[in-house]
Amino acid sequence: MKIALFTDTYPPEINGVSVSVGLHQKVLMDQGHEVLVITTNPFGKQIVIEAGVIRIPGVELKKLYNYRLSSFFSAKAYQYIRKWKPDVIHIHTDIGIGIFGKITAFFLKVPTVVTYHTMYEDYTHYAGFLKGLASRVVKQFSKSIAEQCTEFISPSLKTKEKIRSYGVDRYINIVPTGIDFSRFQLASLDRNKLAEIKNRWILPGEKVLLSLGRVAKEKSMEVIVKGFAKVIQPGEEHIRLLMVGDGPHRHGLIDLANQLGISDKVTFVGAVPIQEVPYYYQVADVFVSASLTETQGLTFMEAMVSDRLVLCRFDENLAELIRHQQTGFIFSDEEDFVRQVKTIFNLTKEKREQIKGDVATEVNRYSLPNFYQNLIEVYQRATRQYW
């Protein structure tokens, strides 16, 4: 089967959608399918067609995580795709490249599959006093996305239910993105590089809480920083908060750490190359997050595959993955964050081993073979509608 993936972000860019599309491409090609990725060009202002990838230039929106908005149509790219003759067009974004994907599918008369990666309603706070209007527009926009494709994919049950609340009554596939287990396991990492990264950021004897991801307001990272300030009371100075990632809220968090007097115990690493991400999981003791806007929680799964304990704020999207004191730990507020950190660091060896066993069983659902099987079933349903 020949599958064209339309996405506004793709490796080496670092974010959840980019990682998801990269894995998507890999798992399909490993099973013998042909894959063509159509994405934006962050490296220049020309259309670049290389092995398996078409990069289309776009306008960089610096205030929106440096997102690139491409034009809705490229004649040169379209002619290449037409000659390539895809069997299915799978769209991973909703404007720019996404609209180009829909136009291409219409002209070529091939089925479209759409994955809904982003809960747009969680981002309406950027509209300020127009948040109410923005929320109504987003709901209608999301409804149209779900209805105007051959097959629609939600990465989680919570996201599916949210789409249902917008008035969508069509069939919705739940297909969680898979995880390349081998990439995050200790045996596959360079021990010298691991030691170098650990020595760079962590003092001997320190226990490490890791926050990893885009540093943005909707990720609620200030909850982690405020909770951490209460963790490192006198006698607990041996704990460090390592914050890996970049974004518009980073300077605000740095200021907050300074105000709380914990700047010497909070390390802002910034963005790191995607190939280094597994090393940061390994140097940590606990992965922490307060985000309530995840559509699936890839970083949580990566941490679990890396054999790290996970502490997250309660969110329905994570309910199937994180079961309190079974596959991870859940907190409700800053005070509860402190209690759960102390509980984790006081776990017995037997309890840690029990959690690791439960995690191993849970994350197997997100293996690449299972991901592939779910995907191919969606593609088969989509193509049958065009027979």
Q: What is the pLDDT of residue 125?
A: 46
Share of the chain above pLDDT 70, in %: 91
Q: Are residues 326 and 361 in the same domain?
A: yes
**pLDDT tens column, 11-20:** 888 777 888 8
Q: Are residues 83 and 8 in the same domain?
A: yes
Q: Are residues 173 and 301 in the same domain?
A: no
Neighbours of 174 (CB within 10 A): 13
Confidence label for 119 from pLDDT (cuts 50, 70 and 90) = low
Q: Are residues 157 and 189 in the same domain?
A: no
**Averaged confidence pLDDT in the chain:** 88
Q: What is the pLDDT of residue 69?
A: 64
Question: For residues 316 and 38, what is the distance between their CA atoms, to the nearest angstrom?
Answer: 33
Total number of domains in the chain: 2
Q: Are residues 61 and 205 in the same domain?
A: no
Q: Which amino acid belongs to residue 14?
A: I
Q: Are residues 193 and 334 in the same domain?
A: yes
Q: Taking a C-beta distance cutoff of 8 angstroms, is the pair 296, 207 a contact?
A: no
Full domain range(s) for residue 33 = 2-178+367-384
Q: Are residues 230 and 342 in the same domain?
A: yes
Q: Are residues 164 and 17 in the same domain?
A: yes
Q: Are residues 227 and 171 in the same domain?
A: no
Strand 53-56 and strand 48-50: pairing? antiparallel
At residue 35, the 3 state secondary structure works out as: strand
**pLDDT tens column, 349-372:** 999 999 988 998 888 888 899 999
Question: For residues 177 and 62, what is the distance between their CA atoms, to the nearest angstrom?
Answer: 28
Phi, psi of 120 (to 5 degrees): -60, -30
Q: What is the pLDDT of residue 227?
A: 95
Question: For residues 322 and 223, what is the distance between their CA atoms, to the nearest angstrom?
Answer: 19
- Please check the confidence at residue 63 and state whether its pLDDT lies above 70: no
CATH number at residue 352: 3.40.50.2000
